[in-house]
Amino acid sequence: MSDQTAASNLTPALEDYLETIYRLVAKSGFARVRDIAKARDVNPASVTPAMKRLDQLGLIDYQQREYVGLTTEGETAGRRIYARHQILTRFFNKFLGLPADVAERDACTTEHNLSAETVDQLVRLFEYMEVCPEGKDHLSRFRACSAVHDNVPECEHKCNSFTLITDASGTHRLTIADLEPGQRARIRQIESKGAVRQRLLDMGILPHVHIEVARVAPAGDPVWIKMQGYELALRMSEAKAVTVEPVTENSP
């Protein structure tokens, strides 16, 4: 069985086991069932079916109650899985600032569905941060931006990208609540916090997504919007928390 064929038959659970074996072998030169069970925090008896399947796929050499070894194909596949894990862990921890344990956990659940194209672009981002003289400054400014992060000092930069001239006396941020029925806009930022922000994100209210106000309740609350083929109801407080940019029919 070819390397690609074997890898294509791996389930997320089998990938986790293969990555664990790869890391144990890299660290100690060998892997035992009890070590694998300890690393995966499972009962040793539950490891056996996974070992048998990996052995059938030609990725490991396994005999019950013996050491587990990687075949050439298994080492290649394990290295690929572990590389993706490292890429995601670094992105979550170093770039997004997530705690190490959260970054590790989320990398484990995300790595299985990561395409080669996404891996390549993430690596290109890392390369940009290393070689561009302004790369690290961009990351620092992202982390210090009070417009998108809570509990950071007021940003020293003047941001005008969210403002809309309304009259001669001043400006204000345009939100979904400011739109009339039939008006279309592109989402710029979600300015709410906590559970409200999470609810909006779960609904698909994301930057760059196009929406159209369908109708507004007679009392002004809620506001119905059309988005990606669906109609959603937003509380007025939620509509006021989403800044937008007007778009025309031909806008990208």
Alpha carbon distance 176, 242 (integer Å) = 6
Please compute the mean of the pLDDT values over residues 140-153 and round it to a whole number. 71
Percent of the chain whose pLDDT exceeds 90:
28
Confidence at 156, pLDDT banded by 50, 70, 90: low
Give 215-246 pLDDT, tens digit per residue.
Answer: 999 888 899 989 877 788 999 999 998 889 88
Please compute the mean of the pLDDT values over residues 187-205 and round it to a whole number. 82
Give 19-42 pLDDT, tens digit per residue.
Answer: 999 999 988 888 999 999 999 999
pLDDT at 164: 44
Q: Which structure tokens are listed for 124? A: 């290109």
Residue 15 burial (10 A CB sphere; 0-12, 13-18, 19+)? buried
- Per-residue b/e over 227-247, b at no fewer than 16 CB within 10 Å? beeeebebebebbbbbbbeee
pLDDT at 249: 67
Give 200-219 pLDDT, tens digit per residue.
Answer: 887 878 778 898 999 999 88
The mean predicted confidence, pLDDT, of the chain is 82
Please compute the mean of the pLDDT values over residues 102-118 and round it to a whole number. 86
Give 46-91 pLDDT, tens digit per residue.
Answer: 999 999 999 999 999 987 667 899 999 998 888 888 888 888 888 8
Give all domains of the chain, ordered by start, each with its CATH number: 1-114 (1.10.10.10), 163-246 (2.30.30.90)
Confidence at 166, pLDDT banded by 50, 70, 90: very low
Alpha carbon distance 191, 120 (integer Å) = 31
H helices of the chain, in order, are: 3-8, 12-28, 33-40, 44-56, 72-90, 100-110, 116-131, 135-144, 194-203, 236-239
Q: What is the largest CA-CA distance in the chain?
A: 80
